[in-house]
Structure 1
Amino acid sequence: MLSPEFIEDLWYGKHPLSILLAPLGWVYQSFMSIRRLAYQAGLLPVKRVSVPVIIVGNITAGGTGKTPLVIWLADYLKKNNFRPGIVSRGYGGAASHWPQQVRPDSDPYMVGDEPVVIARHTACPVAASPDRYAAVVQLMEHADCNVIICDDGLQRNALARDIEIAVVDSIRRFGNGRCLPAGPLRESIRRLRSVDMIVSNGYPGHGEYPMEYLAKSLHSLIDPHKEVTVDSFKNKTVHAVTGIGHPARFFSMLRNCGMSIIKHEFPDHYHFTRQDIRFDDGLPVVMTEKDAVKCTAFAGEHHWFLAIDVRMNNIFEHRFSKLLKDIINGQKTA
């Protein structure tokens, strides 16, 4: 398995191997473009459901902040009297059959870590499956949903969509500008011209909507009712453990909270073991919630996860609300 450091250098640095891999990136980009055109031309079937479908995705591999935005959207929709259902890829899940209904107490090693986090935060019906359409159909059979949010799936064109929101990492942007495997792009940057909204995780570029992460509190992995303020860890040294797509953002957030960190990076969606988070030095261990759901079974009293909130501005809320109203009123078609 390639290390996160190597991938970071290959895709976001100046590693010479990226140049050698560039022809493969051109082939991959061409394939993705032709595939999307085939769906648009009706050569490949596009399946539509009876309720609006909102896609939250990105054009780069790795974390950009899609899942926190999905949670925010679900909360916003519920406050505005919608009944959202959420579908996710279930990446890393080892279930023998899909779709899987996901509950707050589901096993993340079976259904994926991100769907479990979403289920815990939203109290919405959640289904996971590599086949997004099958997950949507199952949700609508078992839950009274009148809008669907799809966590990831921008490139899964078989599912018809009404709103596309692309999330961009404001720091890393599009890396070296090359497609997989030479760079982080899943498809051409030109794809962003066709989405309805671009959200920037951090400082926005032209035409982008800002999304701000707010450090909320620290929660014990072994006692869900035990919560302390972020300030209680200020000026302390902690082990910072993470297996997410962009660990530098998490490390920076902990430093901004006043913590001195000892970094422990693992690949995205990593399957943790007891030894991975055991250091026997008495120092607190802090991780993301996405990592924490996979470590609860073997955590100790010194293991914590950092809870975050997402803040979106009123301009985004207004634009999103307008798009949704237009769909419901039949003024926009996918």
Structure 2
Amino acid sequence: MSSTAKTFIETQLKRTGVVINGPNPWDPQVHNEALYGRLLSQGTLGLGEAYMDGWWDAEAIDQFIFRLVSAHIQDNFRPDLALIGSVLRGKLLNMQRLKVREVGEKHYDIGNELYAAMLDSRMIYSCGYWQDATTLDAAQEAKLDLICRKVGLEKGMRILDIGSGWGGFMQFAAERYGVSAVGVTISKEQAALANERTKGLPVETRLMDYQALEGKFDRIISIGMFEHVGYKNYRPYFTKARELLVDDGLMLLHSIGGHTTTSHGDPWSEKYIFPNGMLPSIAQIGTGIEKLFVMEDWHNFGADYDKTLMAWLERFEAAWPKLADQYDQRFYRMWRYYLTSFAAVFRARNIGLWQVVLSPHGVPGGYTSVR
């Protein structure tokens, strides 16, 4: 089995320019020959777990994964048990509502020190906007200002941030545009630090599910949260947003998006990084907003996520000596694999980063796109 599996995998890799135990930064160095059988039986879950277990290494994991993804090598593998299980869970269950707080507990609550070390000074955990930026802080400031300009923030407006993280966007909007804001998160660690960081501003972060919100807001922003909603809940999500938005308001949805409609996520990412996460497609968002919103603008700058993730990786690597006492070596390898593999998929343009501007009835006279 192992020799047959190795031959098959070597054949697949040949057209990608990847050589097992080769001399290039993207060539994997295999330390355990059982890897090949594991890849055939466990797919992407097996590839990621094998790296975490030390079965293989690569100097540049991002370049290795980029070559695999660009060649669509996964299309030549049979569906594995982990993938089948992910598909079935997505079809039969609504995990995003059954376990609303799971992603908060397993991902966002693993340590504010980790995120403070990895992210920019405002702790923005989403794609930066690198059009005119050369540093991570500048890219994130540019992204925040882009959002404010897209929704036409004005002094005195009341803003809702669905999935507000550590409060960075609300802090920026309150300081630069004179608005008040309410944010919601399901992460205890995020809520506590966000309220501490925004003291003295007309900003409040609530630890709650967005579906429990009440009131009216002039603008609604949602940055990097929609990936946790789940396809069965897209319609209820937009219905709730419409209920909370004033009739002449605007909503901006900032989300990673997939080019193919699916009902599940990636098995490795679901298990280790974003439990129950899945990427929406254009079609799913379109169905979700139908008769609720008018789509005013759709902006894809997914290539910028490659730069953002690699900047996070650089900061994470630099901070690791100070973080090592809080996490083990397997976590280090898991986190490194997460950042590099995600960067590779964005680099290959297999997924995008979308900012979608929505209005309840259409902006009178038309909406002017902002870049």
Normalised to the residue count of structure 2, the TM-score between the two structures is 0.26
Q: Which structure shows the higher strand fraction?
A: 1
Q: Which structure shows the higher helix fraction?
A: 2
Q: Computing the radius of gyration over CA atoms, which structure comes out larger, 1 or 2? A: 2
Normalised to the residue count of structure 1, the TM-score between the two structures is 0.29
